Structure formats: C-alpha cells, structure tokens
Structure 1
Amino acid sequence: MTYPASLLEPGMLVRAPEKPEWGVGQVQSRIGTRVTVNFQHEGKLTIDAELVPLVPDTDI
C-alpha cells in the first residue's frame, strides 16, 4: 500500500519499502511530493514520494 505524500508530516517515522537498507526515517519536511527524510542508515535525503513510496513505520 502506498501512502499519499500529502499525509506525511514532520516528525512521522517512515520506511521506504523498496529500500529496506535505509532503515527507519523521520520526516523533516514536505513540499508537495518532495519529502526530506533523515534515515537511520542513509542519512538525510530529499526524495519525490511519488517515485520512492514511503509508508508509516509500525514496528515501534
């Protein structure tokens, strides 16, 4: 299931299912579909959530 970028808010914990090696990330900001996420193993990335789907992390 993909998660609409419009529902991503700063502070949310997310994962990129297609990039599990990135680990859990925290959303830093969102402008349209451009989301900046600070991932555990990849660092801070600005990605297009339409090209790299993000899903809420439920493994808390």
Structure 2
Amino acid sequence: MVEPGSRPELRTAIEPGQWVLHPDHQEWGLGQVQSAVGPRITVNFEHRGKVLINAALVDLQIQY
C-alpha cells in the first residue's frame, strides 16, 4: 500500500545487459544497458558512448 503523499518508485522493464535504441537518436546505434536505477538508465551506445537517460522522458526501444 502506498502512503498518501509518498511517491511510488518508478519501475521500468529495462534491465542491465539488454540492448536498446534511442528513438530520437538512431544514429547512436545499438546501446547496451549498463545500469537501471529508478528512471535513471545508463546506456553504452555504439557510436555515442555512455549516456545517462531519464526513462520518465525517453521511451527506449528494447531490441530482442
């Protein structure tokens, strides 16, 4: 049960090790998720390097 006035932690389906694409930056190539803590996702992209993504603002595309 969530206490009134408290914010439940944002959960995401993205987990370390998964491969993703950034919907607005396809030129970055595939990225591998390094860490996922709440809405903060660190991704290492092929052509951009490590980027910290706010999953509350960006809907990363999981590659299966």
With normalisation by structure 2, the TM-score equals 0.76
With normalisation by structure 1, the TM-score equals 0.80
Identical positions, percent: 50
Equivalent residue, structure 1, for 2:47: 41
Please give the secondary structure, in 2, of the residue aligned with 1:7.
Answer: coil
Equivalent residue, structure 2, for 1:26: 32
- Greater RCO structure (CA 8 Å; 6+ sep): 1
Aligned pairs, number: 54
* Dislocated runs of 4+, deviation >2 Å: none
In structure 1, stretches of 5+ residues that fail to align are none
Q: Rg: which structure is higher?
A: 2
Report the CA distance between 1:52 and its aligned residue. 2.2
Alignment RMSD:
1.2
- In terms of fraction of residues, the more helix-rich structure is 1
Which stretch of the first structure deviates more once superposed, 44-53 or 11-20? Answer: 44-53
* Cα distance in structure 1, aligned partners of 2:57 and 2:19: 18
